Amino acid sequence: MRCVELDGKTSPEAYSEDEGLADESGGKGTRRARVSGIDRALQVIDHLYETGSPAGVYAIAKAVKAPLSTVYVIVDDLVEKNMLTRQVDGSVWLGARLYHYGLAYARSLDFMSIATHEMHDLCRQAGETVQVCGRDGDYMLVLAMADGPSHFQVASRVGTRVPLNWTASGRLLVGHLPEDERIELFKRCARSSPTGRAEIDPGTLSEAAGKAFESRLSIQAGESDYAVACIASPICDRDGQCVATISIVLPEQKAFSDETHYTAHVRSSAERIEKLMGWRNR
C-alpha cells in the first residue's frame, strides 16, 4: 500500500481505498486504475471550479466518482491547509491560498500584465467597463475586468464562465478554427441563453464566428443579459490564433448610438497588445 505525505503528515486511509485493489468484475489479473492523492485533490478542486459554487463532500464524492471516506479526508486536509474553506452549512469552497497562487501566477505572465494595462487604458478612453476574456473549453472565461465610471452594472465578473455562443468574445475565440471544427464545437456547446436571444444553430454560429474573426470585430446585444451589449476584438498570437479578446461592455442603447467610436477603440487596443507581445509586425 502506498501512502501520500502532505506537510509531514501521512494519511494512508485517505488514499488506499481506490488504489491497487483487485477488480472482481474485471477478471483475473485485472486491477483498478491507481489514483494518487494529489490527483484526487485536484479532482475536488476542479469540480468546485467547474461548477462555480460550494458543494458538500457527499456531492463532490459522487461527482468525481471517489470513495466518500477518501474525499472526506482529502477535504479535511485541504481545509486545514487553506486550499479550501468550509462554509457555515458544511459545504466547501475554494480557499484563499488558491487565490494567492493565482495572483502570483498572473503576475508572472507578460501577457496578462500587458493586457491588463491596456484594459485600464481602454476603460478610461471609452468611459465604459472593459473585459479581457479567454477560452476555457466550451466556455468563455472572464480573465480580467475594469469597471467603468458609470453606475451601469455588469453581471459577468472575473472568473465568470458562459457558453461560447452567448457572447461576442466567445465567437472570436474560435473564429480562427477551420469551419468543420467550429461547427462540431457549436453542435456540442451551444446553449440557449437566459434572454432567449443567443443563436444556437451551429452553422449560423460558425459563419458568424469566421466573419467576426476576419473583420477583427464582434458585436452582440441582449444575447446573454437583457439590455447589455458587448463590442469585442480578438488578440491573436504570432500563429494567427485568437488567444484572448478585449471588449467593451455597455448598455445596448448606448452601444449603437456611437458604434464607430467604440469599435475603433477596441480594435486599436487589441492591436497594441499584439504589438507589445511581439505578435504583430505590421
CATH 3.30.930.10 for domain 109-276, yes or no, is no
Q: What is the pLDDT of residue 108?
A: 66
Going across the sheet that includes 129-136, the strands are 161-163, 139-146, 129-136, 242-251, 228-236, 218-221
Contact 270, 276 (CB under 8 A): no
Considering the entire predicted model, what is its pTM? 0.66
Q: Domain spanning 5-99 has what CATH number?
A: 1.10.10.10
Q: Give helix 37-51 / helix 68-80 axis angle, nearest 10°.
A: 80
**Quick check: helix, strand or coil at residue 122?**
helix
The span from the CA of 188 to the CA of 25, in Å, is 33
pLDDT digit string, tens, across residues 128-168: 999 999 999 999 999 999 998 877 777 778 989 999 999 99
DSSP classification of residue 127: T
Closest CA to 220 of 212, 209, 235, 231: 231
Amino acid present at 74: I
Contact 89, 111 (CB under 8 A): no
The position carrying cell 476555457 is 136
Query: Running along the chain, 282 residues long, what does each successive block of 10 average in pLDDT?
Result: 37 41 39 71 93 93 94 95 94 92 75 93 94 94 90 80 93 96 95 90 96 95 83 94 95 76 94 90 56
Q: CB-side exposure of 125: number of CA atoms within 13 Å?
A: 18
The structural domains of the chain, with segments of one domain joined by +, span 5-99, 109-276
